Structure 1
Amino acid sequence: MEKLSRNSRVVAITKILLENPNKVIGLNTFSDLLNAAKSTISEDIVIVREVLEKLSMGSVETIAGAAGGIKFISAMAEEEKKKFASDLCELLSDKSRVVPGNFIYVTDIMFNPKIISRAGVILASFFQNKGVDYVVTVETKGVPLAYEVAKNLGVQLVTVRRDSKVTEGSTVNINYVSGSSGRIQQMSLSKKSLRPHSKCIFIDDFMKGGGTAKGITDLLNEFDSELIGIGILVDNKESTKKMVTEYVSVVEINSVDDFGTVEMKPSKFFE
């Protein structure tokens, strides 16, 4: 392979890092790919690190040791986070989104790549360096958001089903109480989905009573695993008696009246 200019190497290194957040990549990988000495690659990485940090787009960490290298930690400037949350509030406050029962239609938001990718960076930032092994969610609307969080944390996504499937093999099934309706519901997870003694976080699109999050905690206990955090896109503050108390969110809904007026704001984490 012909020698590349520094500009070309910097572009290639940046692309590889951005596509593999939280993954340790050895200098040999870059050296072999770009046909350059490790010392040269190290100088290129300094440039990449300085630019990413200056623009608050993330950081590049050096991992020492034989299996070491560098890894990219995605990030977003605080002002940018606040603007995203404010814009999301404005979008969700549209009266046309209120459906019978004073619910807010969010399906299009949850499947909008531009919105969900940014929300994933924000929620992942709360759990960096927490030793997360898995991101857990419940089918189906929360899957895109949970996927983005898992991608940014560099871990696997585990999706809990509402009922068991033959294709899942042996499963663990539990009943839990819905925090919003108070009804008994079921969730199921294949025994092959995660390793015992894992640290997990739960990511979902919406929280009302917290029953699903509590159910996830109980389900993970069956795997001798621990739920160490909960991240929510939209938190319904109208429900004051939640089954869980420790969680982070992006925006909060305070009320939806009979005239379709939605009162919401960025969560307290952006104040």
Structure 2
Amino acid sequence: MDILKKRILQDGKCYEGGILKVDSFINHQMDPMLMHKIAQEFVTRFKNERINKIVTIEASGIAPAIMVGYLMQLPVVFVKKKQPKTMENMLTTTVHSFTKDRDYTVCISNNFLTPEDHVLFIDDFLAYGNAALGMIDLINKSGATLSGMGFIIEKAFQDGGKILREKDVHVESLAIIDDLSNCEIKIR
């Protein structure tokens, strides 16, 4: 994913505290051509896994997840951060947001995450792994099977990838950031 790495270096912005902003092309304003290439790469990397459903968490994971679902011709479900009054058979867990430094109770309907599902989780960032661990909790509660987790950008210095790999999760990250010290972006 040289094109992604080039875009991160060209348009990404670094802030103190290990924050990498990619809102001009991934998670606020989106580059659909880049998102299509990202989705193609995920499809290639997970082609040997049994998958019948794509799952993400709102909001920044929705665009890449929909593109992956489109290419794989699979349904896409997103975990919600606000509990709708009309949701049936709700499963919940708590997720801590690194960027916003707050806890969220997230939910998904067990109607759309079932024991028959083999799930590919797609998200924009992997930092400390909080959203991913919350997703694993929801998958376990539903009885579904986790087939893999794909992230556009992994911040390796924040250990989320290490934690997931130690749990034997098939993790694929398209760009791995090794360091953001002194606001210098160092990509593996």
- The interval holding the TM-score normalised by the smaller chain is 0.7 to 0.9
Tell me, in whole angstroms, the C-alpha distance in 2 between the residues paired with 1:96 and 1:235.
14
- In the TM superposition, structure 1's runs of 4+ consecutive aligned residues that sit over 4 Å from their partners are 176-184
**1:248/1:141 CA distance change after superposition, 3 Å:** same
Partner residue in 2 for 1:205: 124
Question: Deviation at 1:249?
Answer: 1.0
Q: CA deviation at 1:194?
A: 3.1
- The answer to whether 1:219 aligns with 2:138 is yes
Q: Which residue identity is paired with 1:210?
A: G
Q: CA deviation at 1:142?
A: 1.0
Judging changes above 3 Å, is the alpha-carbon distance between structure 1 residues 209 and 180 closer, same or farther for their aligned structure 2 residues?
farther
Count matched residues: 180
1:177, 1:184 within 8 Å by CA — same for their partners in 2? yes
State the 1:130 CA deviation: 2.4
1:128-186 Cα offsets, whole Å, 9 max, x none, are: 24221101100001111011111121110010012211243341112245678996542
* Inter-CA distance 196–230: structure 2 relative to 1 (3 Å threshold): same
State the alpha-carbon separation in 2 of the partners of residues 163 and 254 from structure 1: 33
Q: Which residue of 1 aligns with 2:54?
A: 135
Task: Measure the CA separation in 2 of the matches of 1:114 and 1:181.
Answer: 28
Output the CA distance in 1 between the equivalents of 2:44 and 2:79: 23
Confirm or deny: 8 A CA contact 2:5 2:187 kept in the other structure. Answer: yes
SS of the residue corresponding to residue 244 of structure 1 reads: helix
Quote the Cα distance in structure 1 between the aligned partners of 2:7 and 2:57. 24
Question: Please, what is the CA RMSD of the aligned residues?
Answer: 2.3
**1:88 counterpart letter in structure 2:** L
- The answer on whether the counterparts of 1:136 and 1:146 sit within 8 Å (CA) in structure 2 is yes
2:187 paired with 1:264: yes
* Cross-structure match for 1:108: 24
The structure where strand makes up a greater share of residues is 2
- How far is the alpha carbon of 1:231 from its aligned partner? 0.7
Determine the C-alpha separation between the residues in 1 that align with 2:18 and 2:48. 38
1:250 alignment partner in structure 2: 174
Matches within 5 A, 1:129-208: 129-176=48-95, 184-208=103-127
Counterpart code for 2:64: L
User: Which of these two proteins has the greater Rg computed from alpha carbons?
Assistant: 1
Matched residue, 1:30: none
- Going from structure 1 to structure 2, the CA distance change for 1:124 and 1:169 (only over 3 Å counts) comes to same
Structure 1 unaligned runs (5+)?
A: 1-84, 266-271
Is the 8 Å Cα contact of residues 146 and 157 (structure 1) preserved in structure 2? yes
Question: Residues of 2 paired with 1:213 and 1:160: CA distance?
Answer: 11
- Structure 1 residues 98 and 128, CA, compared in 2 at 3 Å: closer, same or farther? same
Structure 1: distance between partners of 2:146 and 2:12: 36
